[in-house]
Amino acid sequence: MTPPRASSPIPHRPRLLVVEDEPVMRAALAQYFSQEGFEVTEAGTAEACRKALRRQPADVIFIDVQLPDENGVTLAQDIRNTSAAGIVFVTSRDGELDRILGLELAGDDYVTKPVNLRELLARTRALLRRRQLDRDTERRNTVLRFGNHVIDLMRRELVTEAGIQVRLTRGEFDLLAVLVQARGMPVARSYLVEAVSHREEEAGERTVDTLIGRLRRKLADGGDKSELVVTVGGIGYRLGVEVEGSR
């Protein structure tokens, strides 16, 4: 397999892990994608793949379905539990059932040998773009505005409209996140207890009431004059202002 001439590198050097037991094939993939601007790591077995991922995460992983120590699909399923990397099966098994199972169980794409390197590069770049779009969408959906504040659920940050960070404890943030995501609907005290149960073994309704009191003071210090956290008699609490999406 002779690699075609490489074009100009893509920016940001995405990290690629090539999991292939055939040395010539592995080297060809590694050389070509390195020339195309990728930071490439090689692994010849499933065990070596896991070790490589423990050392450094990958953006995309090429996995041969037939590895000497483990089925590649099983490896991919295991990786899916801990990694958001894109997974491309690169294999000589081209049966329709193999392809369907690979994509349904763990893979993002499936290419068969002999590999067209230009096509694989195009597929990989497309996969990276889709992953970035997914991250951007997730980021937008987790940044919400209410009153004089903006909460970032992913980064676990709360700032005022003026950009001043409001420091919250873990319990305070968890309660606020639940109320914001409920968008004004009442949330039962029992549910809020569950939201902070990881924080204290003895967390109960009194714990929730205490955290709510502290949260109210910090939100008021942030410049909101209206009551942001409203008590709902016999039920619990709700957010007292409208929640908007990302600015």
For 147-156, the pLDDT digits (tens) are 889 998 888 8
* End-to-end Cα spacing for the chain: 50
Tokens of 167: 């420091």
pTM: 0.55
Over residues 193-247, the pLDDT tens digits come to: 877 765 444 457 888 889 999 999 999 887 766 688 999 998 999 999 999 875 4
d(CA 235, CA 131): 41
Query: Hey, is 128 helix, strand or coil?
Result: helix
Given the DSSP bridges, would you call strands 187-188 and 143-146 parallel, antiparallel or unpaired? unpaired
Tokens of 174: 């968890």
Q: Which amino acid is at 11?
A: P
Enumerate domains of the chain plus CATH numbers: 15-140 (3.40.50.2300), 143-244 (1.10.10.10)
d(CA 65, CA 49): 13
d(CA 15, CA 17): 7
Residue 42 has pLDDT above 50, yes or no: yes
Over residues 77-107, the pLDDT tens digits come to: 899 888 889 999 988 866 554 555 555 667 8
Query: Hey, is 181 helix, strand or coil?
Result: helix
Nearest residue to 207 (alpha-carbon basis) of 186, 190, 228, 193:
193
Other CB atoms within 10 Å distance of the CB of residue 30: 19
* 114 preceded by a cis bond (ω within 30 of 0): yes
Q: Which amino acid is at 102?
A: G
